[in-house]
Amino acid sequence: MSGRLADKVALVIGAARGIGKGIARRFAEEGARLVLADRQAEAGQGSADALGAQFIATDISRFEDAEAAVALAMSAYGRLDIIVQNAGIYPWQLIEDTSPEDWDRVMAVNLRGSFNAAKAALPPMRAQGSGRMLFTSSITGPHVTSPGHGHYAASKAGINGLIRSAALEFSAYGITVNGVEPGNILTEAMQEHRGPAFIADMESAIPLGRLGSARDVANAFLFLASDEASYITGTTIVVDGGQLLPEGNDFRMRPSGV
């Protein structure tokens, strides 16, 4: 621990498991005082207890829930320095099989949830004259996609647009707004819902030869939350092991057939 977030107050939304839990743990290691928020109350409370953090059950698609999470941070610690909106859903569903209600649910959590987080955190950060707003985007949507992820890709591309717009509008208040675009990250959910063959196939498409970890993503968030990133706003960091780099499927140094 180097104390890069010493005495900073951070609200991490979507922190019960996976990437969000990894972000919260990494922030705690660097001295942050934490509020965790998630729809999964039991898992979220367990993560909070392990980190000595506050917890609040939160459906980020509801603005009043976002306000309540921010209010808890303010009542517990008197300020809010960092907000991370990591909550998101990604049901596999072809566009032709997606109902308007299905589409709206993904947008409500992923995209409107990001708006709700920013909107709720703005008043205390504006009053302080400082703050870090951080969002989990994805390489899916802004750069690549695959069948079955139409709504998810659209929501993540929308988050990148929100990041840029909010960064511009909130710059006068001393608030920076940035995001992280993870590639394929080996989380508990992936291990539960994807088989070894699927995971091995994904690994084969990554030049560094492995899936990312929650800590890999958390380290990027830590940088953006720290004083080291004080002159960075309106951008995203890709954390994908080089997945976006190859022109084709064979990225070895000496491809076959050459």
* Residues annotated catalytic, as ranges: 152
Positive or negative, the Cα torsion across 8, 224, 174, 127? Answer: negative
How far apart are the C-alpha atoms of 164 and 17, rounded to whole Å?
27
How far is CA 147 from its chain centroid? 22
> Which token pair is 133?
């707003």
The crossing angle, in degrees rounded to 10, of helices 113-128 and 150-170 is 20
Beta-carbon contacts of residue 5 (< 8 Å; ≥ 6 apart): 27, 30, 31, 32, 82, 222, 225, 226
